[in-house]
């Protein structure tokens, strides 16, 4: 690409012609403050915090342009730290603070708030503008997300990620002038619109205007109840993000420390959702083979992501029969805990409190679905996010970095590398192919890394040749992450433009590693690191370290079938591990 020469604070740099001044400044090692800016998602210059002085060949530019949208030009001279710039930035931030709930010490984002950090960098000690504030609205009616308008700074990041990133558009600017706020249309609760509770709005929010609905107190109460047996499962992606809560670099795997922390918190048993990820492959892989060989409904679409399931129910109900009937690994695990595990250890399942730690806010709503119970008992009683687990560890005064690695408890704690990679986009597909290929060939194949499934392209496609009924057969697969990309795939199938056999969909961009319940990564940090890539790499590295890397080789899963379930897709499996989905009225939470 053509490059242009610009000068920023006296430093000459040559940068691509499509760069903004904000990006060019980073090339020169100069930090320009930002707040509304979120790379590739929200670049609208709303907050005016990144303003600069600039001239082109000695001709001053009018006013103070925002560097996040100001494209570089040959001969441009930029100054980021003049008295006029400092005064403007300070005034703009004070105006934001004038209508902001400043109870920082008791705020969920205290310590990780991007506005708080900016105020510290600017040395703000008081707010010059005091007056009337917008009426606060706290919407906490859903199981998953809380919206607090008193914290909102109208940056628009949540609007852009929901509308443009996810293709849903639940949130937008409502009302006018002073009364403007970000909310669903007609002041509806997020519970009562077509929100899928993916939590990408929470990831985008720089403050605490959007956050998960906390269930921490419920877990502490269960742990302290002597009549309850509290078991916990942890999803694959959690181990790739939890360390960030304690200062580890983005994408540092902390599996052993995570297990040790859970035991010290006081859970009676610590298990791993990777186990039920392996179990899911046994059930889902068998279901796929049955559909392909018996003329069942194709393409079969994965059902692990609850946000995607809600999206399908509301937006694409004509594809409901294409969904795998398998419950998600979270729900499968809960069902097995209250049946197989309870029976094996002679425990009354009513005394078991099944807790999950997930990278996902939509898992909270999934756990409350009426379909997700067996014989009147919920599969999962309480779902926490990665951030909530981080908070619990801090509340328990545990020195997380100093913990020695420990292992999960047995029976439901063993897992393979295939179970680990569930957390990355393409991971479910790759795990399924490892097992399906072995079953169809009758061999223990050694080439098991399906790189065609990896990467963060929005939609990935491939054609694989597998022996079905002894005949080499082409199987067409597709992988989509983010519901906007899922819509593209389904629209193509609906129009007859694509013919797939198996489709993997994850509601969140990058898959579960970038779920709405993962650790916050600031907009500034995202300029230098991609959480989706780093966290996925953490899971792939753990996969490579595993002795067993195929779901059907998991000895505890084998024992589960031998002692209890008997066979994949059998009668008991269908009772415990499978479910159904239905066309959903958007004005219906469950």
**Residue indicated by tokens 């899922």:** 486
**Residue indicated by tokens 């999960």:** 408
Cis amide leading into 299 (omega within 30): yes
Is 371 an active-site residue?
A: yes
Is 497 an active-site residue?
A: no
Nearest to 425, CA basis, from 269, 567, 539: 539
Q: Which of 43, 371, 449, 556 is catalytic?
A: 371
Q: Which of 284, 414, 504, 542 is catalytic?
A: 284
- Whether the Cβ atoms of residue 209 and residue 494 lie closer than 8 Å to each other: no
Is 338 an active-site residue?
A: no
Is 457 an active-site residue?
A: no
Residue 149, CA atoms < 13 Å, CB-side half-sphere: 21
- Whether the Cβ atoms of residue 286 and residue 279 lie closer than 8 Å to each other: no
Q: Which of 36, 198, 205, 304 is catalytic?
A: 304
- Whether the Cβ atoms of residue 309 and residue 285 lie closer than 8 Å to each other: no
Is 284 an active-site residue?
A: yes
Q: Which of 366, 388, 430, 542 is catalytic?
A: 366
Q: What is the C-alpha R_g of the chain?
A: 25
DSSP secondary structure string, 387-407?
HHHHHHHHHTT--GGGPPP--
Q: Which of 67, 144, 241, 324 is catalytic?
A: 324
Vertex 535 angle, CA 529 and 537, to 5°: 100
Is 363 an active-site residue?
A: yes
Q: Which of 50, 155, 158, 512 is catalytic?
A: 512
Is 542 an active-site residue?
A: no
Q: Are strands 352-358 and 382-385 parallel, antiparallel or unpaired?
A: parallel
How far apart (Å, rounded) are the C-alpha atoms in residues 155 and 207?
10
- Whether the Cβ atoms of residue 549 and residue 541 lie closer than 8 Å to each other: no
Is 512 an active-site residue?
A: yes
Q: Which of 53, 114, 212, 287 is catalytic?
A: 287
Which positions ≥6 away from 122 have C-beta within 8 Å? 33, 89, 90, 93
Tokens for 496?
């007859």
- Whether the Cβ atoms of residue 355 and residue 233 lie closer than 8 Å to each other: yes
How far apart (Å, rounded) are the C-alpha atoms in residues 290 and 288?
5
Query: Mind telling me the catalytic residues?
Result: 284, 287, 304, 324, 363, 366, 371, 512
């Amino acid at each position: 690409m053509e490059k242009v020469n610009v000068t920023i604070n006296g430093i000459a740099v040559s940068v691509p012609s499509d760069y903004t001044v904000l990006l060019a400044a980073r090339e020169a090692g100069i930090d320009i403050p930002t707040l509304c800016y979120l790379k590739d998602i929200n670049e609208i210059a709303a907050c005016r915090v990144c303003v600069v002085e600039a001239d082109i060949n000695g001709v001053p530019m009018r006013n103070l342009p925002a560097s996040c949208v100001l494209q570089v030009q040959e001969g441009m001279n930029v100054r980021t730290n003049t008295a006029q710039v400092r005064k403007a930035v300070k005034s703009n931030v004070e105006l934001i603070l004038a209508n902001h709930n400043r109870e920082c010490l008791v705020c969920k984002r205290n310590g990780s708030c991007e506005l708080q950090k900016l105020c510290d960098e600017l040395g703000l000690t008081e707010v010059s503008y005091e007056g009337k504030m917008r009426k606060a609205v706290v919407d906490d009616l859903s199981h998953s997300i809380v919206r607090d308008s008193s914290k909102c700074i109208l940056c628009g990041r949540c609007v852009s990620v929901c509308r443009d990133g996810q293709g849903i558009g639940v949130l937008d600017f409502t009302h006018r002038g002073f009364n403007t706020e970000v909310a669903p249309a007609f002041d509806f609760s997020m519970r009562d619109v077509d929100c899928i509770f993916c939590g990408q709005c929470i990831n985008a929010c720089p403050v605490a205007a959007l956050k998960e609905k906390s269930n921490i107190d419920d877990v502490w109460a269960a742990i302290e109840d002597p009549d309850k047996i509290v078991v916990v499962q942890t999803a694959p992606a959690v181990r790739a993000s939890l360390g960030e809560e304690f200062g580890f670099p983005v994408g540092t795997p902390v599996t052993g420390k995570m297990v040790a922390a859970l035991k010290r918190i006081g859970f009676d048993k610590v298990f791993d959702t990777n186990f039920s990820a392996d179990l899911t492959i046994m059930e889902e892989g068998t279901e796929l083979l049955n559909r392909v060989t018996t003329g069942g409904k194709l393409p079969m679409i994965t059902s692990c992501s609850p946000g995607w399931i809600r999206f399908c129910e509301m937006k694409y109900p004509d594809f409901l029969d294409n969904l795998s009937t398998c419950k998600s690994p979270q729900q499968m695990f809960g069902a097995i805990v209250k049946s197989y595990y309870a029976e094996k250890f002679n425990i009354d399942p009513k005394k078991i409190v099944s807790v999950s730690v997930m990278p996902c806010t939509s898992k909270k709503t999934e756990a409350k679905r009426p379909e997700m119970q067996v014989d009147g008992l919920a599969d999962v009683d309480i779902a926490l996010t990665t951030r909530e687990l981080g908070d619990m560890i801090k509340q328990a005064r545990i020195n997380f970095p100093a913990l020695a690695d420990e292992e999960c408890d047995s029976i439901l704690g063993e897992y393979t590398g295939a179970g680990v990679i569930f957390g990355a986009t393409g991971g479910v597909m790759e795990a399924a192919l490892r097992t399906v290929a072995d079953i169809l060939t009758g061999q223990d194949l050694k080439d098991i890394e399906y790189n065609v499934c990896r990467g963060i392209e929005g939609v990935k496609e491939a054609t694989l040749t597998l022996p079905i009924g002894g005949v080499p057969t082409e199987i067409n697969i597709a992988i989509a992450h983010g519901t906007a990309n899922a819509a593209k795939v389904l629209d193509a199938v609906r129009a007859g433009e694509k013919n797939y056999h198996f489709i993997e969909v994850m509601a969140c961009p990058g898959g579960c590693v970038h779920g709405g319940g993962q650790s916050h990564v600031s907009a500034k940090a995202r300029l230098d690191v991609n959480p989706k890539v780093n966290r996925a790499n953490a899971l792939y590295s753990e996969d490579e370290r595993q002795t067993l890397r195929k779901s059907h080789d998991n000895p505890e899963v084998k024992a589960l079938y031998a002692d209890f379930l008997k066979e994949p897709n059998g009668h008991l499996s269908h009772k415990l591990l499978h479910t159904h989905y239905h066309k959903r009225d958007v004005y219906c939470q469950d």
